[in-house]
Amino acid sequence: MDGQIIRTEYSEIMQKSYIDYAMSVIISRALPDVRDGLKPVQRRTLYDMYELGIRYDRPYRKCARIVGDTMGKYHPHGDSSIYDALVVLSQDFKKGQPLVDGHGNFGSIEGDGAAAMRYTEARLQKITQEVYLSDMDKDVVDFMPNFDETEKEPVVLPVRVPNLLLNGADGIAVGMATSIPPHNLNEIVDAVKAYMKNNDISVKELMKYIKGPDFPTGGIVTNKDELLNIYETGAGKIKIRGNVEIENLKGGKMNLIINEIPYTMIGAGIGKFLNDVAMLVETRKTTDIVDISNQSSKEGIRIVLELKKGTDVENLKNLLYKKTRLEDTFGVNMLAVADGKPETLSLKQVIEHHVDFQFEVCTRKYKTLLSKELEKKEVQEGLIKACDVIDLIIEILRGSKNQKQVKDCLTMGVTEGIKFKTKASEKAAKQLQFTQRQATAILEMRLYRLIGLEIEALMAEHAETMKNIALYEDILNNYDSMAKVVMNDLDKTKKAYGRSRRTVIENVEEAVFEEKKIEETEVCFVMDRFGYAKTMDKNIYERNRDTVHSEYKYIFLCMNTDKICIFTDKGQMHTVKVVDLPSARLRDKGIPIDNVSNYSSAQEQILYVAGLEAVKNSVLMFATRNGMVKRVQGEEFDVIKRTIAATKLTDEDEVILVGACDEMEHLVLQSKDGYFLRFLKEDVPEKKKAAIGVRGIKLGEGDHLEYAYLLESRVEYPIEYKGKEMVLNKLKLGKRDGKGIKVRA
């Protein structure tokens, strides 16, 4: 097949392709539409349930059926995304107004996942059917072809309330993300009505109705004064706290009861909170908590902290606010698809788009209804007129040969071929001018409609039709009339589904926790070869010195106000505050050093551990697998960050030695191929921690350093090499950057 080669810049193709991909993700998957507040997967799932007839007053259907049908017809992006959306739409702790009624295990507020879709069932909630999917048969929204053009799906659902505010939204697209908190239905309805009465209303005036977010988990919003700027710009941070109550017990004891949590804590955050509180106790940040238990159930959240007698409760609450997620921030970014493009919207803009959409939906609905009423009016007038000349119509019917003759006579007065009893009848027939629709209705009319009462009913029906026509024309031609219809719908929704506010909005001073001053004492740090660390009293160490040295790998004295420096083979230095380590007895195990630092035992290996004060007062020697060496002044490691690069490494290099070299005289390097090089430590220049260093030994092809040793003067250092003992001090003294001596077995 002949083809034409098009030459173009590669970067231009990549740029265009990436932009197309990004817009596809933004519009078609990740961001909600401002009109119905739904992402495509949510909209398609709800519409599919509507099509399948899974209504609120009908039996539940298997979620696997819903997911499969949605994926096959509308959303070809995998079943997990559809089922995840279905689950979230049913969770009352995530959505201000759940849209799906789930039956079975749909997860919990504590982060438990939903059961597999083959075990769970679902159906639409009543509000979804009446407020989100009503009037779908009245041409109120546009439909578009699905992915393979075998079905039609709605571009948007005719939602009667601003769902973007009611249920909020979250989604991550390419280069942008949306995060909108849920709000209270009653307040939203009042704000929309206020806007419809005064289009020039400000965001500040709208906030007389919408006080702020209303999270399904309750809690307290603590920065009320900052909300105005957030709702004006569509972006900002909302500070939220859990609700804490004091429960007084016998004997002067007290419990702290957490019965509402921040919205951001739902899921794994609750377990993280419990761990954080336990860590505060373990690291002696507080000694006031005796026990912690999670007594949450279907009735709600209940986390109980048992306190010591005489606890300063306010100070403890402030500690929890500062050190745990009991106080957290919800990042707001009111980003949605508006007019086909992503846009960050203010509170007023969201309401503006919603009201415009409602007027569009109402206009299309009442145009459809008016069209149907006009058709009914036409038919009714034809039947009424036909009743007045029914004898003539019967004569035409009896004298005609086929239906076409009858229709032509009724609509155009054509009498050729029709036998009439009298000339007068023929003359009257020529005057008939029914419409095609009226003629069809007359031919389909049953004889019982000629009964007197039926004729009266027809007249009454016609009067009702005329009344409806007048009403619909008034709504379509009068802004106030249409606004009244929209507001009536909002009032009905508010009355049927509104609920009281759960989240308290107020200004709260920032939590201030006064840490008890630590009495400076000397302690013994110990860590075993498995990475379990603790501190113990100096006197306990002195009494059990032999036992301690036999069981632990790293042992040294330090102050309880000091930091511990951990150097690893990846060139990193991690720091841990001594106070963060548990002060334990001799036989207590301690805690993994991973738990209190950024060190990961799965990814790196510890080479050297020392107190920061000791490191600052020393010079550290570094040696790497590729033979690079350097000395670094310890003061460079006195930093605030918990993790820094202790040295710079080239690709595929790693540290094999870190150690204090103040009391040392020689450095010995040992390679894989059996080359040993001993030289004075002064041959190694001092460098900054960000430097790579200098070459310590010339390595052959494929060779690398396996070990490096620092030797103290006048002390013998015997090692076992290939089954034989050798003393490192007796190696011939060389110069740095030499090849070294080959030692054979």
User: Can you tell me the distance from the alpha carbon of 21 to that of 556, in angstroms, rounded to the nearest whole number?
Assistant: 58
Amino acid at 266: I
User: Can you tell me the distance from the alpha carbon of 187 to that of 180, in angstroms, rounded to the nearest whole number?
Assistant: 16
Tokens read off for 343: 């846009």
Tell me the catalytic residues: 119
Q: CA angle at residue 691 from 689 to 694, to 5 degrees? A: 120
**Are 258 and 326 within 8 A, CB to CB?**
yes
**Are 532 and 591 within 8 A, CB to CB?**
yes
**Are 528 and 586 within 8 A, CB to CB?**
no
Tokens read off for 553: 């790998």
The number of angstroms, rounded, from the C-alpha of 53 to the middle of its chain's C-alpha atoms is 30
User: Can you tell me the distance from the alpha carbon of 146 to that of 143, in angstroms, rounded to the nearest whole number?
Assistant: 9
Per-residue burial over 336-350, b = 16 or more CB atoms within 10 Å of its CB, e = otherwise: bbbeeebbebbbbbb
Rounded to a whole number of angstroms, the CA Rg of the chain reads 40
Burial-class residue 693 by CB neighbours within 10 Å (0-12, 13-18, 19+): buried
Residue 687 to residues 565, 566, 640, Cα–Cα distance (Å): 19, 20, 21
User: Can you tell me the distance from the alpha carbon of 254 to that of 233, in angstroms, rounded to the nearest whole number?
Assistant: 44
Residue 527 to residues 564, 566, 590, 735, Cα–Cα distance (Å): 11, 11, 8, 37
Q: 102: which strand partners?
A: 122
Nearest to 345 by CA among 486, 162, 189, 209: 162
User: Strand ranges (DSSP E) for 323-448?
Assistant: 327-333, 335-338, 341-344
Helix (H, G, I), strand (E, B) or coil at 532: strand
**Are 230 and 332 within 8 A, CB to CB?**
yes
**Are 584 and 603 within 8 A, CB to CB?**
no
**Are 183 and 166 within 8 A, CB to CB?**
yes
| Residue that has been written with the tokens 């009964």 in this structure | 451
Nearest to 655 by CA among 700, 619, 605: 605
User: Can you tell me the distance from the alpha carbon of 210 to that of 52, in angstroms, rounded to the nearest whole number?
Assistant: 36
| Residue that has been written with the tokens 């997967």 in this structure | 41
In the chain, count of helices (H) and strands (E)?
21, 35
**What DSSP element (H or E) covers 647?**
none
**Are 63 and 106 within 8 A, CB to CB?**
no
User: Can you tell me the distance from the alpha carbon of 256 to that of 293, in angstroms, rounded to the nearest whole number?
Assistant: 11
**Are 243 and 502 within 8 A, CB to CB?**
no
Q: CA angle at residue 719 from 718 to 725, to 5 degrees? A: 85
Nearest to 362 by CA among 195, 480, 188, 491: 480
Q: What is the DSSP string of 89-118?
A: HH-TTT-SS--EEEES----TTSPPPPPTT
